[in-house]
Amino acid sequence: MTEAVVADMSTAARPDIVIIGGGVIGSAAAYFLTKDGRAGRVIVLEPDPLYIRAATPRASGGARRLFSRPENILMSNFSISFYQRFAEHCSVDGEAPEIGFRCDGYLFIVPPEGVTTLESNYALQTSLGVEVHLLDRDALRRRLPSMHVEDVGAAAYAPKDGCLEPNGALQGFRRKARAQGAEYLAERVVDLAVHGTAVREVHLASGRVLRPRTVICAAGTWSAQVAAMAGMHLPVEPMQRHDHFWMCRAEIEQLPFVKDLNGLGFHPWDRGYTGSVVDFAIPGGHNWDVDHGYFERVVWPAIAHRVPAMEELRLCDSWVGHYDRNTLDGNMILGNWPGRLDNFYVACGFTGHGLMHAPAVGRALGELILDGGFQTIDLTRMGYQRVLDNEPYAEAGIR
Ligand SMILES: Cc1cc2nc3c(=O)[nH]c(=O)nc-3n(C[C@H](O)[C@H](O)[C@H](O)COP(=O)(O)OP(=O)(O)OC[C@H]3O[C@@H](n4cnc5c(N)ncnc54)[C@H](O)[C@@H]3O)c2cc1C
């Protein structure tokens, strides 16, 4: 028992683990931590229980294994299998959560100058057990006749990847974590008190103070703000991201989740399509204003170029959300700051991959905190040390 716990006589103030942020990452962590009772008392602090501003419910739902870093591929292998059996893992009282996982496949398309990278990524992916097929221009044309392929160098097609309903995953993890004993409080963290090499106090907007043994920061686009309360600098900022839903008038074949090197990403959803062109150059910061000209100016031309039948479409809705962009290298930052903040674990900087990796991240946090180190996938290279060393560990090719 720590001296800080001894100092506080209120049970409510003495959780073992406090998770800051109850989005899909915080809730997946709560699920894995409460699975076998070893974690003790777990409290999740989530000031926005309807998730109005959270990234999770705004995600496109894509889940793919097409990465270039082994850690990301292995996390996807585990997470996609987990999502496929989500009902088995997260049912409560016989009631199964619905996440609508669909195996529509994932397609990465690159121009001739992107082929070498696509091929070396393909070699790594297949060596790690991913089913992926390299398609040349003719093979792509035969598979997807609606697609314009004249400017394509090659494509990688992963038929077992797909998409899921983000809010379903978040609510499923949350409900199961609560059933396993996690407590969710509608509270915002306003300060953290550090003594020695640990966060000893978590100060809430209501005036309450919690004194946990361990703290997880899973505050999404607010993570840098929260970590700064403990003196930890994170190169993570909100990155505005438009998304749209449209209907296509023409009948075309079933498309997979399509992504290209220019940032275009879209996939079938309901009776239409959802997606956008991701602008990684946009300045950081929360911006909730929808640019209603963005679709017509940027997205529509890109879609119509790739699928000419979509020159005629009906835009139904546009909205914005935010990536928690890691400005160092676009990959997640997972773990503590050894020797400086031993009991404070961050899980953020997902830059558009947090939903698909949430099960693996939740499991990894459980291993770090309950077992003292990674037991399944070694995610050391995704840790904070590379930030301190200023050594980016980025994806190659499509991000
Ligand atoms: C348009 C869009 C499309 C995307 N598409 C995909 C995709 O196809 N596939 C994919 O894998 N990912 C995708 N993403 C990324 C994905 O949504 C995120 O990586 C993921 O949801 C991050 O989850 P999170 O729990 O870290 O963050 P969030 O869901 O944002 O949750 C963080 C929570 O922290 C809480 N919080 C903040 N400050 C505090 C505080 N001081 N105290 C307590 N709590 C606090 C917030 O209220 C919030 O609910 C997309 C994102 C966007 C915006």
Task: Please report which helix (H) or strand (E) contains residue 43, including its range.
Answer: strand 42-45
Q: What is the pLDDT of residue 11?
A: 46
Which atom in ligand 1 lies closest to the alpha carbon of residue 242? 1
Q: Output the CA 12–ligand 1 centroid distance in Å.
A: 27
Which atom in ligand 1 lies closest to the alpha carbon of residue 190? 41
Q: Tens place of pLDDT for every residue, the chain, 399 residues?
A: 333 333 343 444 667 999 999 999 999 999 999 999 999 999 999 999 999 999 999 999 999 999 999 999 999 999 999 999 999 999 999 999 999 999 999 999 999 999 999 999 999 999 999 999 999 999 999 999 999 999 999 999 999 999 999 999 999 999 999 999 999 999 999 999 999 999 999 999 999 999 999 999 999 999 999 999 999 999 999 999 999 999 998 999 999 999 998 899 999 999 999 999 999 999 999 999 999 999 999 999 999 999 999 999 999 999 999 999 999 999 999 999 999 999 999 999 999 999 999 999 999 999 999 999 999 999 999 999 999 999 999 999 888
Q: What is the pLDDT of residue 4?
A: 39
Which atom in ligand 1 lies closest to the alpha carbon of residue 355? 11
The beta-strand segments (E) located in 278-387 are 313-326, 333-337, 341-348
Ligand 1 atom 9, closest CA: 62
Which atom in ligand 1 lies closest to the alpha carbon of residue 319? 1
Q: Is the dihedral of CA 353, 357, 362, 367 positive or negative?
A: negative
What type of residue is 85? R
Show Cβ contacts of residue 45 under 8 Å, excluding neighbours closer than 6 positions.
Answer: 18, 19, 20, 21, 22, 185, 187, 188, 189, 202, 204
* Residues having CB within 6 Å of any atom of ligand 1: 20-26, 45-48, 51, 54-56, 58-62, 188-189, 218-222, 226, 241, 243, 321-323, 350, 352-356
* Residue indicated by tokens 């590379």: 386
Q: What is the pLDDT of residue 45?
A: 98
Q: What is the pLDDT of residue 261?
A: 85
Ligand 1 atom 50, closest CA: 59
Ligand 1 atom 31, closest CA: 23
Which atom in ligand 1 lies closest to the alpha carbon of residue 27? 25
Helices (H), the chain: 3-7, 24-33, 70-84, 86-90, 115-127, 137-143, 166-179, 223-228, 294, 300-306, 354-366, 385-388
Q: What is the pLDDT of residue 15?
A: 75
Query: What CA–CA distances, in Å, run from 349 to 42, 121, 238, 335?
Result: 23, 22, 9, 12
This model's pTM is above 0.75: yes
Q: Output the CA 23–ligand 1 centroid distance in Å.
A: 6
**Class of residue 143 by CB neighbours under 10 A (exposed 0-12, middle 13-18, buried 19+):** middle
**164-167: Cβ within 8 A, 24+ apart:** 164/61, 164/63, 164/83, 164/86, 164/99, 164/100, 164/101, 164/102, 164/355, 165/61, 165/98, 165/99, 165/100, 166/24, 166/56, 166/57, 166/58, 166/59, 166/60, 166/61, 166/355, 167/51, 167/56, 167/57
Q: What is the pLDDT of residue 13?
A: 61
Q: Output the CA 212–ligand 1 centroid distance in Å.
A: 24
Q: Which residues of 22-60 are buried (b: 16+ CB within 10 A; e: fewer)?
A: bbbbbbbbbbbbbbeeebbbbbbbbbeeebebbbbbbbb
Ligand 1 atom 19, closest CA: 354
Q: Output the CA 16–ligand 1 centroid distance in Å.
A: 24
Choose one of 18, 45, 46 to mutate for the ligand 1 pocket test, by most ligand atoms within 8 angstroms of C-beta: 46
Ligand 1 atom 20, closest CA: 354
Task: Please report which helix (H) or strand (E) contains residue 192, including its range.
Answer: strand 189-195
Q: Output the CA 68–ligand 1 centroid distance in Å.
A: 23
Which atom in ligand 1 lies closest to the alpha carbon of residue 356? 11
Cα–Cα distance for residue pair 5/201, rounded to 1 Å:
10
Which DSSP symbol is given to 95? B
| DSSP string computed for 111-156 | -GGGHHHHHHHHHHHHHTT---EEE-HHHHHHH-TTS--TT--EEE
Q: Output the CA 328–ligand 1 centroid distance in Å.
A: 19
Which atom in ligand 1 lies closest to the alpha carbon of residue 265? 8
Which DSSP symbol is given to 293? T
Q: Could you tell me which of 250, 248, 242, 293 has the C-alpha nearest to residue 271?
A: 248
Q: What is the pLDDT of residue 61?
A: 95
**261-268: Cβ within 8 A, 24+ apart:** 261/109, 261/110, 261/111, 261/114, 261/397, 261/398, 262/302, 264/299, 264/302, 264/303, 264/306, 265/60, 265/62, 266/303, 267/60, 267/61, 267/62, 267/104, 267/163, 268/104
